[in-house]
C-alpha cells in the first residue's frame, strides 16, 4: 500500500490511548492501546505495538498486536507479525515466520446466520 493512500499516520515513538474510528486507511508505527473500529484498512508497522480490540475491514500486521481481531474482509500477517489473541475473518494470509497465539475463526461473511442443523431422520 502506498503512503499516499493512507489517510492518517501514527508515527514511531508516539503513544496513543483510547478509541480510533476512521475511514480509508490508517497506519500505526507507534504504540496504541484501546479500540480500533473501521470499515477500512489498518496497517500496523513492524515497530508498532497495538493492545486492544480491532474491528476493521482489513488488517495488515507487521508488528505486535495483543487482543481480539475481527476483520470483515481479510487479515494479512507479514513475517515479522506477532499476534496474541483471537482472529475472526473470512480470509487469512500468513507469511512464514509470523507468530499467531490464539484461536482462529474463518468462514464466509454470513457464517452463523444461515446455518441449518442437519436432519438425521
Quick check: 44 and 58 in contact, CB under 8 A? no
Residue 96 in contact with residue 81, Cβ under 8 Å?
A: no
Whole-model pTM?
Answer: 0.82
Cell of 62: 507487521
Cα–Cα distance measured from residue 74 to residue 90, given in angstroms and rounded to the nearest whole number:
6
| DSSP reduced 3-state for 5 | helix
pLDDT value at 110 more than 80: no
Read off the pLDDT band of 111 (50, 70, 90): very low
> Cα separation of 3 and 73, whole Å?
21
Q: Predicted confidence band at 109 (pLDDT cuts at 50, 70, 90)?
A: low
Amino acid at each position: 500500500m502506498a503512503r499516499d493512500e493512507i489517510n492518517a499516520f501514527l508515527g514511531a515513538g508516539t503513544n496513543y490511548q483510547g478509541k480510533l474510528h476512521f475511514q480509508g486507511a490508517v497506519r500505526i508505527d507507534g504504540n496504541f492501546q484501546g479500540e480500533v473500529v473501521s470499515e477500512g484498512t489498518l496497517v500496523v508497522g513492524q515497530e508498532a505495538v497495538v493492545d486492544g480490540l480491532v474491528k476493521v475491514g482489513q488488517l495488515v500486521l507487521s508488528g505486535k498486536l495483543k487482543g481480539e481481531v475481527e476483520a470483515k474482509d481479510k487479515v494479512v500477517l507479514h513475517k515479522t507479525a506477532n499476534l496474541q489473541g483471537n482472529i475472526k475473518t473470512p480470509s487469512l494470509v500468513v507469511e512464514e515466520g509470523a507468530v499467531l497465539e490464539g484461536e482462529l475463526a474463518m468462514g464466509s461473511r454470513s457464517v452463523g446466520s444461515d446455518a441449518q442443523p442437519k436432519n438425521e431422520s
